Structure 1
Amino acid sequence: MKKVELENKIQEATSSLIDIATDICWNKISRNCLYIMSEIDESIGKNFFEHAKIRKRINDKKAPKTLNRIVAELSTIYENLYDINLYIYKSLRNKTIIEIRYFLKTSHIEEFYPTIKDNEPMLHCKVSRPFYVTESLNSNKPERKFDVNWELGGIRHEWNKFIGKLKYHTWKIKYDRKRKYRIKNES
């Protein structure tokens, strides 16, 4: 992606992101978008849940900006951009806040930098899925739709998380029993 294409590519990716989210989420997602930016920092947080809490706390303090202002900020660091990822941070009735997470070339290990220093940045759009909606790969059931705002928490998310953990533990107990029974019969 060239620097002059940055605004158009982000606009196209935003549209694709909203289309993807509309297909897999039950929310009505507004196409009136504002943006926040975050550098991908792999050093904060020991695990996914801790990292998500810290990122949410930081992002809640950011003032959303228009696409023009975000593109201007990205243009200043364009030469050092390695990867740009778009996520829906928050979807409200009348606006959607898109989080642009970027990874810098200089954030890679020193040995890898010479191989990527002249590469143009990559652009991706992603929708985070909660663990409790993921079906097995062989399942014929349609995937359950979920709340696009699940990462922000809330009662519905906590309930679904509880039910998901309960289903997992039930499955694990049944699996362990079957495994013990097979081992016992093979001996």
Structure 2
Amino acid sequence: MKAFLIRHAQSTGQAADAPLTDRGYQDARALVPTLIEREAGPLFASPMRRAVETLTPYAEHSGQTIRRLDSLRERLLSPTPLTDWETHIQRSFQDPNHAPEGGESHTDLLARWTSAFAEITQNGGTPAFVTHGGMTSALFHSLTAEFGFQGWKQLRNPDLFEVTLTKGRLSAFTRIELETYP
């Protein structure tokens, strides 16, 4: 099944209720023609505000509702702030079970993905779903080890990929270039 994976547009922060920046809102609106052309739907998003707001302009234009899936939420790297957070992200690509105490590993994210996959694929169509860099990179890394720490660093806000979903997992991905990037 084909689907569209969207990494959320630029936001004002990492909090669950952080809104998009002015640029983020502009980029979210710029996604609309691409999603119209590809007849995206049904629609799913992480419950975090920045994910929902990324898909809202298209949902309003197409008359669709956005179904919020907790399983698409941002990775909890650690329940406490880390000064060396990027080091832990890098280690996640070397060891999928690595996570700071109380945080989520790539293995944890992929387990969450199983739940999201079931919901996203049950309605047919060409689903579009908005998630975060942690989930996106864990999915891509599970498909190819070549997508690692540098791939994570090169993800954009927003970023749009056509993905193939097969037997409970992501089996292919291709970036769709957007005109919204400088």
Specify the TM-score bucket, using the shorter chain as the normaliser.
under 0.3
> TM-score normalised to the size of structure 2?
0.28
- Which structure dedicates a bigger proportion of its chain to helix? 1
Q: Larger radius of gyration, structure 1 or 2?
A: 1
